[in-house]
Amino acid sequence: MRKLLLAPDADGYGSTDGTEVIATSLAGGPSRFRRDFIGAPKVVNVQWTMNPSQYAYWRAFYATATMNGSLPFICDLVGNDGAGPAEHVCSFVPGSIGLPSQRGLTYVQQAQIEAKPLATDAVADTERMDIYEESQGQPDQWLAELSRLATVTIPSLPGFGA
């Protein structure tokens, strides 16, 4: 599986989470929910703004590495954790490839892809939730105070300093 070395534009981005849960409506009460599919891919609308050599690479990658969209590939996409781009296994949604704009030497390529992260980390997600809840919704301030405690306050106490 080849990796696409062009990251999508940060401002030409949108995604919808995959459906992992199904619901059954009941006439006599609330719906019943159950997990149906673990690790469902999300659908991502992406856009690349490229110069001529990048566009030639993109078209060659699409035609060869993905066999015109029939094979999966790896691409760096922004994850749901807000931590920045991460590798995802992706597949182009058939019929979604388009070149809506070409002006001079600038090409804007759009596509819709199904994407699944290469790795998920349940421990990191749990820690992220715990920190957010412990900090009462102010994790950046809480972590800054914790860092100050560890690097300034504790080392200045008698018996801890050098």
Contact at 8 Å (CB) between 15 and 47? no
Do 107 and 143 belong together in one domain?
A: no
When divided into structural domains, the chain yields a total of 2
Please report where in the chains the tokens 């490839």 appear, as a residue: 97
- The CA-CA-CA angle for residues 7, 9, 14, to 5°, reads 105
Please report where in the chains the tokens 């696409």 appear, as a residue: 4
Do 109 and 135 belong together in one domain?
A: no
Q: Could you list the residue range(s) of the whole structural domain that residue 2 is in?
A: 1-120
Do 19 and 91 belong together in one domain?
A: yes
pLDDT, tens only, 127-152: 877 877 888 777 778 778 877 777 87
Residue 10 pLDDT > 70: yes
| Residue 162, in any domain of the structure | no
Cα gap 58→129, rounded to integer Å: 38
pLDDT, tens only, 13-62: 776 666 667 778 888 888 887 776 666 778 889 999 999 999 999 999 99
Average pLDDT, the chain: 83
Do 60 and 18 belong together in one domain?
A: yes
Do 36 and 59 belong together in one domain?
A: yes
Do 56 and 135 belong together in one domain?
A: no
CA pseudo-torsion sign 27, 28, 29, 34: negative
